[in-house]
Amino acid sequence: MVEYPKGSNMPRKKPSLLSICVVLLCANVTAQSPAQDQAARGEKLYLSQCSFCHGQTGEGGRGSPLNRPRLRHAPDDEALLRVIRRGIADTAMPSSWMTENEAQLVAAHIRKLGRVSTIATPGNPPKGEQLFRSTGGCTRCHAVQGSGGAFGPDLTTIGERRSSTHLRESLVNPNADISSGYFEIRATTKEGRAIEGVRVNEDTFSIQLRDAGDKLHSLWKADLKSLDKNLKNSLMPSYGKSFTPAELDDLVAYLAKLTEDSSR
Ligand code: HEC
Ligand code: HEC
């Protein structure tokens, strides 16, 4: 028999309420395949609290796309949990009332969404790159790794920011979803000169526009007759008719491969 020194509370220690609960909980969870059950709970939480802004499959919407392997604000799991629970200051990303455990389930679901980029795309990336650099004339407006125009968004890491479906849509129907900040601006001076382009900079008194020829225009607002922002019209031409479906596949396959890893 073990002798306990006088005053020790060891022999009197009863199983605490907490440990009983833990045992019961574990028994309950193991009874219904823990991994699947956890995944289903993570998905349910995601669909009810996050998909409104981030899309059913993380394709993005009002919130950023989450269906990519690397997230700017959440490079590791710890940061991801922090973003989920505390939100991102000064953005539309709200904090949540989730418990640590719920946040972990949602985080696991987001990491699962992030693996979509491994889905094979049908096209041929080297052929797509050729189209991008030659016939397509894409480099006139887009830069990849520092070379190319600045009229359209930089595409160096577009493969991890957009799904293949979205990329194809961008080429065929650019008006469907205009990249933030790249909507059309049309300025008309008092002398009647019209300038169309994307905004580079703007303050109370002036606006700087870049036209499709990559030329910068700095305009005083006082000199303008009108200044219109057209949020619905993309300045990206549609390529739905100029490429065959196979060529579009090649282009999408090339764009999908443009990630931070490929630019290293
Ligand atoms: C009201 C809309 C809204 C809701 C609801 C919302 N988010 Fe967000 N979320 C955003 C916006 C907007 C951003 C981008 C913030 C920024 O960087 O400008 C964002 C960013 C994020 C990021 C960082 C992405 C990156 O690329 O770094 C993660 C992760 C994220 N949200 C997860 C979630 C999760 C999980 C939920 C549900 C619990 C959720 N969000 C609910 C709007 C929302
Ligand atoms: C005349 C200039 C111009 C040319 C040429 C052009 N684009 Fe664009 N592109 C833009 C502008 C401006 C935007 C931003 C507006 C938008 O999202 O529709 C854009 C957007 C995009 C996007 C979406 C980016 C995002 O963040 O979602 C992709 C992808 C793209 N272009 C690919 C291409 C490819 C591939 C080609 C060649 C086949 C091409 N572009 C040719 C101007 C151009």
pLDDT at site 264: 59
Two tokens, residue 240: 């739905």
Closest C-alpha to 211, from 148, 132, 151: 151
Closest C-alpha to 195, from 180, 177, 209, 174: 209
Closest C-alpha to 185, from 234, 220, 146, 147: 234
* Ligand 2 atom 23: residue of nearest CA: 170
Assess whether the C-beta atom of 151 lies below 6 angstroms from ligand 2.
yes
Distances in Å between the Cα of 218 and the Cα atoms of 181, 200, 209 are: 17, 9, 6
Q: Which overall architecture, per CATH, does domain 183-234 show?
A: Roll (2.30)
Assess whether the C-beta atom of 156 lies below 6 angstroms from ligand 2.
no
Q: Does position 15 have pLDDT exceeding 60, yes or no?
A: no
Alpha helices in 87-143 (DSSP H): 100-113, 125-133
The predicted-structure confidence for 50-104, as pLDDT tens digits, reads as follows 999 888 988 877 788 898 777 888 988 899 999 999 999 988 899 999 999 999 9
Residue 195: φ, ψ to 5°: -130, 130
Q: Do domains 33-118 and 183-234 have the same CATH topology?
A: no
Other residues' Cβ atoms within 10 Å of the Cβ of residue 186:
15
Assess whether the C-beta atom of 64 lies below 6 angstroms from ligand 1.
yes
Residues 164 and 166: their CA atoms lie apart, in Å, by 5
**Dist. CA 111 → ligand 1 center (Å):** 14
Closest C-alpha to 140, from 212, 45, 47: 212
In ligand 2, which atom is closest to the CA atom of 251? 35
Residues 106 and 38: their CA atoms lie apart, in Å, by 9
Specify the pTM. 0.64
CATH no. for 33-118:
1.10.760.10
pLDDT at site 71: 87
pLDDT at site 234: 86
Q: Choose the CATH number for 125-177+238-256 among 1.10.760.10, 3.40.1410.10, 1.10.150.20, 1.20.1560.10.
A: 1.10.760.10
DSSP state at residue 15: P
| Domain ranges for the chain | 33-118, 125-177+238-256, 183-234
**Dist. CA 174 → ligand 2 center (Å):** 7
The predicted-structure confidence for 120-164, as pLDDT tens digits, reads as follows 668 999 999 999 999 888 999 999 999 898 899 999 988 776 777
Exposed e or buried b per residue across 161-174, where buried means at least 16 C-beta atoms within 10 angstroms of its C-beta: bbbbebbbbbbeeb
